[in-house]
Amino acid sequence: MYQINFSKPIHIHFIGIGGISMSGLAKLLKTKGFAVSGSDWTYSALTEELTALGIPVALGQRAENITPDIDLVVYTAAVSSENAELAAAKNAGIPTLVRADLLGQIMKHYPHAVGIAGTHGKTTTTSLLSMLLLDGGLDPTISVGGIVDAIGGNLRIGNSEYFVAEACEYTNTFLSLFPTDAIILNIEEDHLDFFKDIDDIRASFAKYIALVPAGGTVCINAEISQCDALFETASCEMALYGIAENSTDSTSSHLDYAAANISYDGNGCGSYDLIVHDKYICRISLGIPGKHNISNSLPAIALAMKYGVPIESIQATLASFHGTKRRFEYKGSLDGVRIYDDYAHHPTEIRATLTAAQSFDRGRIITIFQPHTYTRTKALLPEFAEALSLSDVIVLADIYASREKNADKTISSADLQAKLLEKGKEVYYFHSFDEIEKFLLRFSSHGDMLITMGAGDIVNVGEELLKK
């Protein structure tokens, strides 16, 4: 594997530089004195930001973008071997590196490097821990898979020994990292275009845990089945976290970090007693809604406490943090109809978001859902229907293919609609965003909560409605 000498900056070209993670790494290397260029299929707010920093971004991925002055090409796992730029780099003998290996080489330079992993919840938890360390005066470097207003984007360059980053399991990219501490939020069936089954996924997470050295801590959700088995080859410490119904609940006795005596406000934001090793610490109040975010906050608190952040600072940060872009993000109101957007594209994420929405003071919940990838939709069709049933009304868009170039199109949103109709749900299916927008303008009424949901471009529906 090609090793970067960070004391000798070179010219690095990023294929797909407009991605949330790739753009962050490009910005980081630019600040370290590297010459950076890249390409992507479309221009976006992220590519505009890169251009403003003096990073040239080519539209389209063509062989001629690989010029002789390029010393290294970085690409993501989603880039195929037939990609014109990747093929041109290899033909020219230019070294190549996948994104995860680059992130791993960067992590090696930080004595305290945290990787946040899990099937879902990574971006929010990464943001939570980042803000706890930032407000605690630890000046971390942050690489997050979402836009965080408090750091002005998806990357922050710190000047300390602390580094916080998301660790994605897809194609085992997180096995290229070098975390000194880690968080495991959940382990569920997903990315079944790569993994064989849940046992295959668990095996990868066990390998990830084994990367954390002795003296390091892996905070892991106690709801994950057979947690102990994942640590069989690990030398790090295990810290269990979870939710207890009350402070005397017997199920909390095995938890190192627990949330007890939970209550919610009118916006679905939780408050709870923080119990650490069976001892009451303080009352925590969150500025983000949902039981799932109570769970997400616990491992962030655990590592912040390990790093010496005062509990008073932790309390203040959690109360003032209002989330990241596309995570139950309030977009605005149209004639008394509140419009939100959420990145949820897995049944568990959908369930968490809709459960949180139910705790709001509101009228009907109308979920506008865009399934993400044919593989995921086909593999988890009953689970999607079950989760979406928590919504009062469901509006479906066509499946977003994403990285699936030769998708199995024997599945469609019509199949999901049929499952929901079997459950007696009110569900509509449209093939275009324009049809969806026109329907919602007629159908929604004062007090309704509209939630655009999915990892594709469904966010555009809500944004267009707010322009009406």
Mean pLDDT calculated for residue range 204-224: 96
Taking only the tens place, the pLDDT of each residue in 244-265 is: 865 554 445 689 999 999 998 8
Taking only the tens place, the pLDDT of each residue in 254-297 is: 899 999 999 988 788 899 999 999 999 999 999 998 888 999 99
Angle of CA points 401, 116, 103, to nearest 5°: 75
Q: What is the pTM of this model?
A: 0.75
CA 233 – CA 120 distance, rounded (Å):
24
Region of poorest pLDDT, from 50-54, 193-197, 396-400, 407-411: 407-411
CB under 8 A, 24+ apart: contacts of 231-235: 231/206, 232/206, 233/206, 234/206, 234/209, 234/210, 235/210
Taking only the tens place, the pLDDT of each residue in 343-387 is: 888 898 898 889 888 878 788 999 999 999 898 899 899 999 999
CA 56 – CA 139 distance, rounded (Å):
29
Model pLDDT, residue 267: 80
- Per the listing, tokens 């471009």 go with 457
Express as a percent the part of the chain with pLDDT over 70.
Answer: 97
Q: What's at 308, amino acid-wise?
A: G
Cα distances (Å, whole numbers) of residue 40 to 47, 78, 142, 396: 8, 13, 23, 29
Angle of helix 20-31 versus helix 99-107 axis, rounded to 10: 50
Is residue 128 scored above 90 in pLDDT?
yes
Mean pLDDT calculated for residue range 106-130: 92
3-state SS, residue 428: strand
Model pLDDT, residue 345: 87
CA 403 – CA 396 distance, rounded (Å):
20
The alpha carbon of 315 is separated from its chain's Cα centroid by a whole number of angstroms, namely 23
Is residue 309 scored above 90 in pLDDT?
yes
Model pLDDT, residue 152: 74
Express as a percent the part of the chain with pLDDT over 90.
Answer: 70
Task: Report the mean per-residue pLDDT for the chain.
Answer: 91
How does residue 234 score in pLDDT terms, banded at 50, 70 and 90?
Answer: very high
Model pLDDT, residue 250: 40
Is residue 69 scored above 70 in pLDDT?
yes
Max intra-chain CA distance, the chain: 67
